[in-house]
């Protein structure tokens, strides 16, 4: 009798486990291409806080997909790094463990070094130039490249320009940064930017920066107003210098196999929703950046905005970064030329 009960229990455990696997694969879109008459549930993950414009844009995309599919496709969104950091979620999307993932573009350079060109200081003068490049040939080239790595690009969420912030002193010209410890990402170009300014670039995990500023491990950092405010970094900062030294974009991708398994109608819904979500997100990102800048000022952060003449010094100090990185295998010269031609300018125009 006991053996019979044990056998029944063991069978139930195996059955439950099997159902979990099947259900999990279904939830992750593994069978999505053949389920057009049922609700298809996908998962999308990324690391930024839920109230960040990038996160809000992904939520908007999910909302539009559900609306356009009349509830037949549902995307569950996971923010705040709940499923992993940028690198982890992108790798999960490549494997098909999750369906969608978003990452900042510097973390995508292992898939194509074309993203490296976007990091070059001052390659983009303003958001109009950013959007012209992303919506034009430079963006199309990357979309094709990413297909080879198993990704379909849905859209590029707008992250924003990075500014230089610190808690030591006002910074009005590059030489004011001499010797200061400035936190950077792992981007070699961003580190080279601060070397060019005379600072000591200090790569540090994002989760450690707040404490690093508190304890004096670093004196400052580079980031967008909105991300800094939303993560309460204003509490450990005193000064900001608005030099737009680097533009950061995110990229929302979908597992290629999962996308191609969908019906043509559902693929169109996803791509159309991506276009609409991108337009909505761009407007929200720009609105939020202005709000956050004013919040900085109201909080008592001293914001310095260089004049056009003063900006020339900031730009010219980074010519050495272009000389170092615009090479084959890094920021591909031919791709950099495509960006510049799309924007109707030359390298000399940037640094004149």
- pLDDT score of 22: 37
Q: What percent of the chain has pLDDT over 90?
A: 80
Of the candidates 94, 61, 95, 98, which has an alpha carbon nearest to the alpha carbon of residue 83?
Answer: 98
Distance, in Å, from the CA atom of 201 to the CA atom of 161, rounded to the nearest integer, reads 18
Distance between start and end Cα atoms, the chain: 89
Tell whether the model's pLDDT for residue 3 goes beyond 70: no
Decide if 197 contacts 174 (C-beta within 8 A). yes
Q: What is the pLDDT of residues 251-299, one digit of tens each?
A: 999 999 999 999 999 999 999 999 999 999 999 999 999 999 999 999 9
DSSP 104-142: EGGGGTTT-THHHHHTSTTS--SHHHHHHHHHSHHHHHH
Which pair of tokens denotes residue 153?
């690009």
HSE-up of 343 (CA within 13 Å, CB side)?
Answer: 25
Q: Domains of the chain, with CATH numbers?
A: 2-159+249-287 (3.40.190.170), 161-247+289-351 (3.40.190.170)
- pLDDT score of 186: 81
Q: What is the pLDDT of residues 156-172, one digit of tens each?
A: 999 899 999 999 999 99
Query: How large is the average pLDDT for residues 169-186?
Result: 96
- pLDDT score of 106: 81
- pLDDT score of 185: 85
- pLDDT score of 37: 60
What are the backbone dihedrals phi and psi of residue 192, each rounded to the nearest 5 degrees, phi first?
Answer: -65, -35
* Parallel/antiparallel/unpaired status of strands 100-104 and 239-255: antiparallel
Rounded to two decimals, the pTM is 0.85
Decide if 139 contacts 45 (C-beta within 8 A). no
The residue behind tokens 């019906």 is: 263
Confidence of residue 205 (pLDDT cuts 50, 70, 90): confident
Confidence of residue 333 (pLDDT cuts 50, 70, 90): very high
**Average model confidence (pLDDT) across the chain:** 90
Confidence of residue 210 (pLDDT cuts 50, 70, 90): very high
Among 69-78, 104-113, 328-337, which stretch is predicted with the lowest mean pLDDT?
A: 104-113
- pLDDT score of 323: 97
């Amino acid at each position: 009798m006991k053996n019979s009960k044990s056998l029944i229990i063991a069978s139930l455990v195996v059955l439950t486990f099997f159902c979990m696997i099947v259900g999990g694969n279904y939830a992750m879109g593994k069978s999505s291409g053949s389920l057009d008459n049922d609700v298809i549930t996908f998962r999308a993950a990324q690391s930024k806080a839920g109230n960040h414009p990038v996160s809000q844009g992904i939520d908007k995309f999910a909302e539009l997909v559900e609306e356009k599919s009349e509830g037949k496709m549902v995307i569950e969104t996971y923010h705040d790094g709940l499923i992993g950091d940028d690198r982890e979620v992108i790798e999960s999307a490549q494997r098909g463990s999750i369906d969608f993932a978003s990452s900042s573009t510097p973390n995508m350079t292992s898939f194509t070094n074309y993203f490296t060109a976007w990091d070059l200081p001052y390659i983009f003068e303003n958001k109009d130039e950013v959007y012209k490049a992303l919506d034009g040939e430079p963006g199309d080239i990357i979309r094709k490249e990413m297909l080879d790595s198993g990704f379909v690009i849905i859209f590029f969420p707008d992250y924003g320009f990075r500014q230089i912030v610190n808690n030591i002193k006002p910074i009005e010209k590059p030489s004011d940064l001499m010797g200061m410890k400035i936190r950077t990402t792992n981007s070699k170009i961003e580190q080279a930017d601060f070397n060019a300014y005379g600072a000591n670039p200090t790569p540090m995990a994002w989760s450690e920066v707040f404490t690093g500023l508190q304890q004096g491990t670093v004196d400052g950092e580079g980031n967008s107003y909105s991300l800094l405010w939303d993560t309460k970094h204003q509490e450990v900062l005193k000064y900001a210098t608005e030099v737009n030294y680097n533009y950061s974009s995110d990229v929302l991708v979908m597992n290629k196999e999962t996308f191609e398994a969908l019906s043509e109608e559902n693929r169109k819904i996803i791509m159309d929703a991506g276009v609409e979500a991108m337009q909505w997100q761009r407007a929200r990102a720009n609105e939020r950046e202005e709000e956050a800048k004013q919040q900085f000022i109201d909080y008592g952060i001293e914001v310095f905005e260089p004049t056009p003449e003063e900006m020339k010094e900031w730009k010219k100090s980074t010519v050495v970064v272009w000389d170092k990185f615009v090479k084959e295998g890094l920021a591909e010269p031919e791709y950099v030329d495509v960006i510049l031609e799309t924007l109707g300018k030359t390298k000399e125009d940037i640094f004149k």
